[in-house]
Amino acid sequence: MSEVMALFTPQIISMIVEDFGVSLYMIAMATGFSYLFGLPLGVILVVTAPDGIHPMPKFNAVLGVIVNLLRSIPFLILLCPGFDLKGLIL
pTM, 2 dp: 0.68
- The model's pLDDT over 37-49, given as tens digits with 9 standing for 90+, comes to 999 999 999 999 9
DSSP the chain: -HHHHHH--HHHHHHHHHHHHHHHHHHHHHHHHIIIIIHHHHHHHHHTSTTSSS--HHHHHHHHHHHHHHHTHHHHHHHHHHHHHHHHH-
- The model's pLDDT over 10-31, given as tens digits with 9 standing for 90+, comes to 898 899 999 999 999 999 999 9
Per the CB < 8 A criterion, the answer to whether 44 and 54 are in contact is no
